Structure 1
Amino acid sequence: MDTAHPIQKPVASASRSALFTPLDPELLTVRAGLMDFVHRRLEPPDLQDCAPQGTEVTDTDPRMMYHGELLPVSTPDVTRGLKDARRALRTNRFRPAGKRMSMIIDGCAGKTTLLLQIARAYQGILELERRPDDEWTPVVYINVPPRHEHNLDWSLPFADFFDMDHTINLDKRTYRSTDMTEPVVHAMRESRTSLILIDGINRIHDNDLAAAFDYFDCLQARLRVSIIYCGRGATDIVNEGLHNRRRGERPRTSEQFRSTLPVMWIRPIPFSKGEEEDWRSVLLRYDENLRLYNHVPGAEALLEFEEELHERTGGYMDTLDQLLCQTAQQAIEDGTEAITKELLDDMLVGRTDSDDDWS
């Protein structure tokens, strides 16, 4: 996994139009969508190839679309998380027997970003060894639906990922699903799946934890896969699911049952005295990624607003990204073509003061 540019994987066949095609987040939970994400290449547009300054543009103009997403910026926590995941997954790959170690992503907004960067970087490494084909699926990504109570329900998100038909009586007003565990296990075994990403683990209700983690444990027992759990409060949720679901008569005094999985934390970036470097490095990366006619990438213009930006966002990357993307698009629309205090002050992003709430 390349921690310097962890999610930019060159794709020789990518066309210019493909570089600016928005990605439907819902498609990540199906194989084709995740594969598109893994292989998608995002590049900043060259201003020489764009509409001349002063030209009225629409929302689908390449620069408008690019500044709606921007190149991803890795924070210190994301960089560290990628490094930790690389080490664990590399070791897991070569274990001939036994359950592979799972991991957890917890903290503030930005957890899914790290999860998907791990997916792209991990598959990128594997593709150095094997050319992709229509069957090979090293990574499976599911987003936890609101409620599940038994194995039948838990098999369905995995079946949906592989585009399996799991319903019967489709010609009637009502239909029901069937347990897809066996077809799912067969599909993952045949497609050489080695990493399962489970996002939104916080949506599992307390009374569903036993069924959920019994199911995940079953998949790991039958397949040589690593699992990364991601969600708000995931550390407590996963440890509760893994340990306290044990039958009462089973011993729970050994170190095995007290241990916890390694956690990759995503935290707000501080900007207190003596801790300014990380925040400034993030702003410099955004500065380099902007493509505005009156902005010089690398000229450190965003550092002029470093205090205001931290006060507006609290150091949360999701809010900073939204604020800068909105401001850049507005600068294109009104012809300002630069990030200014007036434009920043005019943006509404929802977080105005720093706080300690990671929810």
Structure 2
Amino acid sequence: MNKPSLPAPDMAAEVPPDNPLTTKEGWRHFIGHEPVPPRLLTAGGRAALSPQERMREDERRREYHADLPMVNTPVIRKVTATSRLLIQLNRNQISARRGVILSGGSGTGKTTALTQLGRAHELAVRKRHPRDANRLPVVYVTVPPAATPKMLAMEFARFFGLTFPSRADITDVVDAVCATAAHVRVDLVLVDEIHNLTLTTRSGAEASDQLKYFAERLPATFAYAGMEVESKGLFAGTRGRQIAGRFVVIPATPFTHATTEDQESWRALVGTLESTLRLNHHTPGTLAGLSEYLFHRTGGMIGSLSQLIRGGAVLAVEDGTERITEELLDIVPVDYAAEQSNKRTAPAKPARKRRRAACCTSAGCPIRSRPPGTRFPPPTSAAWPPSTASTSTTSGHRSPSARSPAACAASSSPNASQHSPDAPSTPSPARCPSSAAPSPIGRCSGTSHRPAATAATPGTPAAK
């Protein structure tokens, strides 16, 4: 008997919906999302959890630290204050409305400031009109690479969820977008990646004209964000001069560490991020004490700082240490720009000094006569004088500098000159102690180089 086959799983239900920030569904999710700090359990409460419950608790804290609450930076405050004023000024304007352009390098928080502006404005509008569920006061779009007028218009249509056939005329798309925007009462339009508009090309110039046409048709304030738009030709030519005459440019630059005020501002930012951590054994103020290290490691860029602290917090939960240290932050990867900035600005760490055995500086020292890295052989006998093996160097030949100026009588006697220079020499019982092997601890004592605890053998001349 054949068993009934199970129904195939609904793959469409398992795939998450495609709701990026550039759609009204994704934007509404962004507006309503607020990271909730998880509660920290005591040691007893954590010990009472089962392994599965402890795993779920750690997973919640990892997810929280991967998406820490946003901090209010100076750029965000300036963009929000300027844009709110422009929205008030543009409310009764028929044309030539004023706008704002956020310009800066990568990792300086341009997109963050732009989206936080839209979030703050929409929350304020919802507070004033709590019963108007159809109101959509903010539109967020990005300029696609090599944008054409129709591509730009379709970005606006995609945000509203409008669909058109592939052969649709651009005029129909623009009219539908403007009608929908008026119906939901849009009064703030956010356009990101504005540097993708190149006014030196025909398609880029036409796309810029299309964006200007939207600004004339929609009763809204436009806010742009892009990478170093001043050097991208956005203000060049007739079109550029018109944009420059209507928009306020707010630079987004990395933090600096030159003055005391700059250092305190950076330390306050680090302290604000540290206050959002939820780690069991982290000492408050640790990251604030590492503010200079964090500045050099991130180049003063808010995006790199956020990545570094969030990554350190996630690793601290995973390895069970529950604290962020400089050693842990060293293994958190950051972007290439931050790494290069760290190489240019970070102070060199002091080299650790090696402990060296005390030794004399005379040329006859057997320690100095040995090649670097040579280990001293153990003494063959505690008796004095040492054997032949202990008076030779690592190459098997006795060092000529091992003889003291107070040479023994055997080396200065006439019989000593009768030996052939090529014949192997035999140590004399009366040899001075300067050719003796060093003590096991490798310590020399004056010019005699004899161990302090070794007594002379009867018949051996006393050391001078």
TM range (shorter): 0.7 to 0.9
> Residue type of the partner of 1:166?
F
SS in 2 for 1:198: strand
Q: CA deviation at 1:193?
A: 0.8
- Does the residue aligned with 1:97 lie in a helix, a strand or coil? coil
1:299-348 CA-to-partner distances (Å, cap 9, x unmatched) read 32212211111111010011111111111000000011011111011112
Conserved 8 A contact 2:110-2:226 = yes
Cα pair 2:312 2:332 within 8 Å, conserved: yes
Which of the pair has more CA radius of gyration? 2
- Contact preservation (8 Å) 1:99, 1:224: no
Q: Which of 206, 216, 222 matches 2:217?
A: 222
Preserved CA contact (<8 Å) 1:196 1:227 = yes
Alignment match of 2:46 (pick from 46, 52, 63): 52
Does the aligned pair in 1 maintain the 2:197–2:205 contact within 8 Å?
no
Give the match for residue 270 of structure 1.
256
Aligned partner (choices 83, 96, 99) of residue 96 of structure 2: 99
Aligned to 2:354: none
| 1:88/1:245 CA distance change after superposition, 3 Å | closer
Change (3 A) 1:163 1:265: same
> Matches of 1:330 and 1:319 in 2, distance apart?
16
Within the alignment, does 1:244 sit opposite 2:238 as a pair? yes
In structure 2, relative to structure 1, the CA distance for the partners of 1:238 and 1:98 (3 Å cut) is farther
Question: Using the alignment, how far apart are the partners of 2:254 and 2:323 within structure 1?
Answer: 26
Q: Which residue of 1 aligns with 2:267?
A: 280
CA offsets 1:185-204 (integer angstroms, 9 cap, x no match): 11111111111111011122
Alignment equivalent of 1:156, drawn from 132, 154, 169: 154
Structure 2 letter corresponding to 1:184 = V
Long gaps (5+) in structure 2: 1-15, 345-464
Cα distance, 1:58–1:333 mapped onto 2, change above 3 Å: farther
Q: Aligned to 2:269, what secondary structure does the other structure show?
A: helix
What is the rounded CA distance, in whole Å, between the counterparts of 2:175 and 2:243 in structure 1?
29
The separation in 2 between residues aligned to 1:134 and 1:91, in whole angstroms, is: 26
**Is 1:189 aligned to 2:182, yes or no?**
yes
CA distance 1:257–1:306, shift in 2 (3 Å): closer
Instruction: Decide whether aligned partners of structure 1 residues 264 and 24 sit closer, same or farther in structure 2, where only a CA change above 3 A counts.
Output: farther
2:88 to 47, 70, 90: 90
Q: Which amino acid aligns with 1:203?
A: N
State the percentage of identical aligned residues.
Answer: 29
Write the deviation string for residues 109-142 of structure 1: whole angstroms up to 9, x where unpaired: 2100000000011111211221265532111110
Question: 2:24 matched to 1:31?
Answer: yes
Q: Note the C-alpha offset of 1:60.
A: 8.2
User: What one-letter code is carried by the residue in structure 1 that aligns with 2:177?
Assistant: V
Q: Which residue identity does 1:77 align to in structure 2?
A: V
Match of 1:40 among 33, 57, 70: 33
Is the Cα–Cα contact under 8 Å of residues 34 and 69 in structure 2 kept in the other structure? no
- In the alignment, the residues of structure 1 paired with residue 299 and residue 18 of structure 2 have an alpha-carbon distance, to the nearest angstrom, of 26
Q: TM-score scaled to structure 1, two decimals?
A: 0.79
Q: After the TM superposition, which residues 1-359 of structure 1 pair with which residues of structure 2 at under 5 Å, given as runs?
A: 27-48=20-41, 52=46, 57=55, 61-93=59-91, 95-108=92-105, 109=107, 110-131=109-130, 133=132, 135-149=134-148, 151-168=149-166, 176-179=167-170, 180-205=173-198, 206-207=200-201, 208-237=203-232, 239-240=234-235, 244-245=238-239, 259=245, 261-274=247-260, 275-296=262-283, 299-350=284-335, 351-354=338-341
Between 1 and 2, higher relative CO (CA 8 Å, sep ≥ 6) is seen in 1
8 Å CA contact 1:312–1:353 kept in 2: the answer is: no
Please give the per-residue CA displacement for 1:71-99, whole angstroms capped at 9, x wherever unaligned: 11222222222222222222223x24233
Cα distance 1:52–1:91, how it changes in 2: closer, same or farther (>3 A)?
Answer: farther
Distance 2:206 2:42 in 1: 54
Instruction: Return the alpha-carbon distance in structure 2 between the equivalents of residues 235 and 194 of structure 1.
Output: 26
Does the CA contact (< 8 Å) of 1:194 and 1:224 recur in 2?
Answer: yes
Distance 1:76 1:245 in 2: 31
Task: Check whether the contact 1:139–1:195 (CA below 8 A) recurs between aligned residues.
Answer: yes
Q: Give the RMSD, CA atoms, in angstroms.
A: 2.9
Query: Would you say the 8 A contact 1:189–1:223 is kept in 2?
Result: yes
- CA apart distance, 1:236: 4.8
